[in-house]
Structure 1
Amino acid sequence: MSAPSAPPLKLLPLILANAACMMAMNAFIALLAPLARTLALNEWQAGASVTVAGVLWFLLARPWGRLSDRWGRKRVIATGIAGFAAAYLALAAGIHWALLTLPGTLAGFLLLLAGRGAIGAFYAAIPAAANAMIADRTPVERRAAAMATLGASSAIGLVLGPSLAGWLVGGGLVLPLYAMAGLAVVALIVAIYGLPGGDAPLAPRDATPVRMGDPRLRMPVVVALVAMGSVAIAQICVGFYAMDRWGLSREHAGRVAGYALTAVGVALIAAQVGVRRLQWPPHVLIRRGAVVAMLGFLVAGFTAAPWQLIASYFVMALGMGLVFPAFSAMAANAVAAHEQGTVAGTVSAAQGIGMVLGPLAGTLLYGIAPAVPFVVGALMLASIAFWVGTAREPAVARPADEAA
């Protein structure tokens, strides 16, 4: 499509709101292990409480995106953040009660499952409507850069959330949860007063719904699925790899994993900020980013020392930092204005599938040999680089497409 007629979008409020919610999402992960031990939960129960958020993200991303085509982007973002904040506060209060009363394993498990499920269900609205808002108000040639800025804010939340939770946990396990719920309220205020309203082009009543398998979206959806699945494989395997490869203690392996994931966050920020300067089209970003990430995966599978593992994670994240904003921009460029919300939700749903399948595939492959998940991740990324590199450059929707 052509450059949007809506006024240019001021990204700062969107960046702040998204970063705050991502901080809250990832802060919980840092608290999961001690919470699970205190509530006498098994590892699979703790893992299920994380997976359920990904499942609901996948299921609801497209409906939220479609709703933003009719309600408006700001209204959906604000609704998502409000529900996210309420769900987080309810989870914090529920865990506070559980820690005081120790109601039993089943009750603790159901509490985490319900709380994380509600958080994931409302969070699904935020990236779908946020990317559609950027597509509405950003010219084609600048979309990848703008979406990279949004991605950098997610990476900041990925890094700062667990760090802040670790700092606050000295005041008890529930203090970080209440603090993150408060942070989500701040995000809601920023969204209400900082984001523009009335910006969604309403979808015509007779418009054909965008299907998950729409040919225009085949490439960005597959790339999104593979990219998020690869990231999830790397996340789930890093701690086990550090223990099994070098015989590290749980505490030492946990530190190595923490350093590796911090390196991931730093690399994502660096890469996605760099996208703004490179101004490469989406298909070039995907091809080159996938090659860089592939090299990181290959090195990770055969490292000889922990520092090499950390460095390899930095390299793989540097490549992923080019890929992530590119597939969102590629999808947005392929469709008309009234389809942006549904399409952003479709891409977000593909990421949700990757977030669900990646950990499962990673643990199954790890059971074969510690290096296997990394080799498979490298092969998937190599396939993506080859496909995108040899395919015809994706078409960009023209103004006539929007009038149809």
Structure 2
Amino acid sequence: MSNSHVANVLAKRTLLLAAAAIGFAQTVLFAILAPLGREIGLVEVQIGAIISCSSLTLFLVSPLWGRASDNWGRRKVLLIGLFGYSAGTVMFASVFKAALLGYLIPITALILLIVTRVANATVMAAVSPSANAYMADITSIKDRVKGMGAIGAAGNIGAILGPAIGGLLASISLLTPLYFSVLLTLAAAILTLYSLPELPKSKAVIKRPKLKYTDPRIFPLVVAGVFLFMGFAIVQQTIAFRFQDMLGLDGTETAKIVGISLMCSAAAALFAQMLLIPRLAVRPFVLLRISMPMMMVAFAFMALGQTQGMYLLGMCILGLGMGLAGPGFMAGASVAVSSEEQGAVAGVAGACPPLGFTVGPLLGTYLYSIDGTLPYWFAFTSYALLFLFTLKFKDK
């Protein structure tokens, strides 16, 4: 076994563990943010604004980090993201703690939560493009979908464990899952520091021209990615309110049931990425087309459901669809450009989810404040239009 092969295996394992840690941290936050926000006196749209502002930051800076990984090296940028995420989450949790203790009035808490979350997002944005570009560097074009799928699967393993463990920790306090996620991402950062090999400079440290969102090679995927994640963000940001209001739950009970629903959704996505994608010999754009009708069914369940079981089933179907769509989107962007543009395209592709999450939470919470079913019917319609849009473009 050659040294380069051993180095690639070690690199892949480290990347997957880092992705799992971030997946854990993200799902823990979405499980507790809605009940936490209500505990300190925030309303739905204000809670959505926290996610939207941080997501807008991710959208703006992700391409910068993607190009930085081309120039500075994947490992360095990934380390910045992991250590920065850990530090930023401590600041974010500290503001919530002060508000829960009564030291901050709701409007002051909201401003500080947005500021700390935006600061956190600025460095957190380094993780996704650097990790995906690193994976692209060490995989062939033939294995690119599998490589991106593996990162997605690792993230979903973390997303499965996050709500499960977070739900248990929430019984101690709603902030305990956040503190635990800090320890986990810090451990991933230390592991990356000592275990992730540095790529040769010929691959990692060469200045490349800027890749535009409107580049015809990737523009259809950019449009699809933004709408894809906008619909997903609408559900993810409103499902806690739906559970709490329809089932009459308190904050801790809401965190637990939302944790279970996110765990089921992530498990379905993991099933798609580990078992379905390797057996589906289809091009990336086809995965997007397959996933659209599935997720439309999920949105209908969310709108029409009256019971916990129907909501959980809807989340499972949604997870299955996203498990197909996510790797299809990332791999489609990767294979559309040259090997010299992998960092840049990873940054552009990595900016699409944040843009979707910039619009989705604000729009979803606003629609929810009017009627509890509106967010899901809006997402249903958006995906129907997206499906028609994808039919117009060839998967090259």
Both structures adopt the same fold (TM-score exceeding 0.5) = yes
Is 1:39–1:102's contact at 8 Å kept on the other side of the alignment?
no
3-state SS of paired residue (1:141): coil
Name the CA distance, whole Å, in 1 between partners of 2:74 and 2:22.
Answer: 17
Q: Write the letter of the residue equivalent to 1:374.
A: Y
Q: Does residue 317 in structure 1 map to residue 319 in structure 2?
A: yes
How far the C-alpha of 1:112 sits from its partner, in A, is: 2.0
How far the C-alpha of 1:340 sits from its partner, in A, is: 1.1
Is 1:6–1:136's contact at 8 Å kept on the other side of the alignment?
no
Name the CA distance, whole Å, in 1 between partners of 2:6 and 2:220.
Answer: 28
Is 1:73–1:199's contact at 8 Å kept on the other side of the alignment?
no
How far the C-alpha of 1:64 sits from its partner, in A, is: 0.5
Q: Does residue 49 in structure 1 map to residue 50 in structure 2?
A: yes
**In the alignment, what sits opposite 1:397?**
none
**In the alignment, what sits opposite 2:289?**
287
Output the TM-score relative to the length of structure 1: 0.85
How far the C-alpha of 1:29 sits from its partner, in A, is: 3.5
Deviates more, 1:318-327 or 1:381-390: 381-390
Name the CA distance, whole Å, in 1 between partners of 2:256 and 2:43.
Answer: 22
3-state SS of paired residue (1:250): coil
Q: Write the letter of the residue equivalent to 1:324.
A: G
Is 1:243–1:250's contact at 8 Å kept on the other side of the alignment?
yes
Aligned with 1:331 (options 330, 333, 340)? 333
Q: Does residue 351 in structure 1 map to residue 350 in structure 2?
A: no
How far the C-alpha of 1:303 sits from its partner, in A, is: 3.6
Output the TM-score relative to the length of structure 2: 0.86
Is 1:73–1:133's contact at 8 Å kept on the other side of the alignment?
yes
**In the alignment, what sits opposite 2:152?**
151
Is 1:256–1:310's contact at 8 Å kept on the other side of the alignment?
no
**In the alignment, what sits opposite 1:402?**
none
Structure 1 383/123 Cα, relative in aligned 2: closer, same or farther at 3 Å?
Answer: same
Name the CA distance, whole Å, in 2 between partners of 1:34 and 1:301.
Answer: 21
Q: Write the letter of the residue equivalent to 1:146.
A: G
- Taking the TM superposition and a 5 Å limit, the aligned residue runs for 1:146-295 are 146-199=147-200, 201=203, 207-242=208-243, 247-251=246-250, 257-274=258-275, 275-295=277-297
**In the alignment, what sits opposite 1:401?**
none
Is 1:133–1:199's contact at 8 Å kept on the other side of the alignment?
no
Is 2:164–2:260's contact at 8 Å kept on the other side of the alignment?
no
Name the CA distance, whole Å, in 2 between partners of 1:105 and 1:371.
Answer: 27
- Taking the TM superposition and a 5 Å limit, the aligned residue runs for 1:95-174 are 95-96=96-97, 102-174=103-175
Structure 1 42/392 Cα, relative in aligned 2: closer, same or farther at 3 Å?
Answer: closer
For residues 190-240 of structure 1, the C-alpha deviation after alignment (integer angstroms, 9 at most, x for no partner) is 2122222124625765x5321121111112211211111111122233344
Is 2:288–2:328's contact at 8 Å kept on the other side of the alignment?
yes
Is 1:84–1:118's contact at 8 Å kept on the other side of the alignment?
no
Structure 1 383/172 Cα, relative in aligned 2: closer, same or farther at 3 Å?
Answer: closer
How far the C-alpha of 1:56 sits from its partner, in A, is: 1.3
How far the C-alpha of 1:366 sits from its partner, in A, is: 4.3
Deviates more, 1:221-230 or 1:111-120: 111-120
Name the CA distance, whole Å, in 2 between partners of 1:386 and 1:71.
Answer: 40
Structure 1 110/138 Cα, relative in aligned 2: closer, same or farther at 3 Å?
Answer: same
Is 2:268–2:316's contact at 8 Å kept on the other side of the alignment?
yes
Q: Write the letter of the residue equivalent to 1:52.
A: C
Q: Does residue 382 in structure 1 map to residue 384 in structure 2?
A: yes
Name the CA distance, whole Å, in 2 between partners of 1:376 and 1:345.
Answer: 28
Name the CA distance, whole Å, in 2 between partners of 1:139 and 1:308.
Answer: 42
**In the alignment, what sits opposite 1:301?**
303
Name the CA distance, whole Å, in 1 between partners of 2:190 and 2:255.
Answer: 36
3-state SS of paired residue (1:196): coil
Deviates more, 1:20-29 or 1:279-288: 20-29
Name the CA distance, whole Å, in 2 between partners of 1:52 and 1:23.
Answer: 21
For residues 265-301 of structure 1, the C-alpha deviation after alignment (integer angstroms, 9 at most, x for no partner) is 1111111112234343212211212232223323443
For residues 140-160 of structure 1, the C-alpha deviation after alignment (integer angstroms, 9 at most, x for no partner) is 222112111211222233332
3-state SS of paired residue (1:216): coil
Name the CA distance, whole Å, in 2 between partners of 1:366 and 1:77.
Answer: 36
TM-align CA RMSD = 3.0
Q: Write the letter of the residue equivalent to 2:248.
A: S
Aligned pairs, number: 388
Name the CA distance, whole Å, in 2 between partners of 1:101 and 1:368.
Answer: 30
Deviates more, 1:100-109 or 1:213-222: 100-109
Structure 1 248/166 Cα, relative in aligned 2: closer, same or farther at 3 Å?
Answer: closer
For residues 48-72 of structure 1, the C-alpha deviation after alignment (integer angstroms, 9 at most, x for no partner) is 3332221211111010001001111
Deviates more, 1:227-236 or 1:28-37: 28-37
Q: Write the letter of the residue equivalent to 2:270.
A: I
Is 1:82–1:188's contact at 8 Å kept on the other side of the alignment?
yes
Structure 1 62/373 Cα, relative in aligned 2: closer, same or farther at 3 Å?
Answer: same
For residues 122-175 of structure 1, the C-alpha deviation after alignment (integer angstroms, 9 at most, x for no partner) is 111101111111111111222112111211222233332233233234444554
Is 1:95–1:111's contact at 8 Å kept on the other side of the alignment?
no
